[in-house]
Amino acid sequence: MGLIDIDDRDVINNYYASTNSKKLTEQLNRIKAENVGCVVANLGENRYKITLPLISCNGGNVISYFMIPYMHEFERMDIKHVTSAGADSTDTLQYNISYRLNTHWMLLSDDVATHSDIIDEFQKVFLERSQYRIISNSVITNTLTVSIYVRVTGL
């Protein structure tokens, strides 16, 4: 027994869900449905992280696609470039990302890198519903993990 005894059994914890939780769940499910095989995480505030399936490099161009079914801001793309042993790769990686505008592909980024952690940040890239294409090329034994960060701005 101490000088002051505190009994906190009368404390009530109230948890409130957002009034838009149904809409947010629908957004998340639609993004997941458009990107089968990808891992989609809700980061809050209409922001989503889409992690593409592991890309195995083959010494030539490897093409990957993903889709954002809403008006959105394309914020960032992270690439982790590793060897078959899982170590950071120092081999050359060529990659570009583009989005479809009607029947044409519009280039967002085109780069050549030799480091294993790549972050491409985009400023004020607002798009409507868009399909994206990533073309990557590295040594045959390397793999890439690509994560995309977007913020949904409208339906």
* Domain membership flag for residue 7: no
pLDDT at 79: 96
Residue 24 lies in a domain: no
pLDDT confidence band for 107 (50 / 70 / 90): very high
Q: Specify if 12 maps to a domain.
A: no
Residue 15: CB partners within 8 Å, gap ≥ 6? Answer: none
36 within a domain of the structure (yes/no): no
How confident is residue 17, by pLDDT bands cut at 50, 70 and 90?
A: very low
> What range does the domain containing 113 cover?
43-154
Q: In what order do the strands lie in the sheet with 62-68?
A: 62-68, 130-137, 93-101, 104-113
pLDDT per position as a tens digit, 74-93: 999 999 999 989 999 999 99
Instruction: Report the number of distinct structural domains present in the chain.
Output: 1
pTM for this entry: 0.82
- More confident position, 14 or 117: 117
Q: Which helix (H) or strand (E) holds 23?
A: helix 21-34
Residue 60 lies in a domain: yes
Comparing 102 with 97, the larger pLDDT belongs to 97
In a domain, 123, yes or no: yes
Share of the chain above pLDDT 90, in %: 74
Which CATH number is 49's domain given? 2.60.120.20
In a domain, 18, yes or no: no
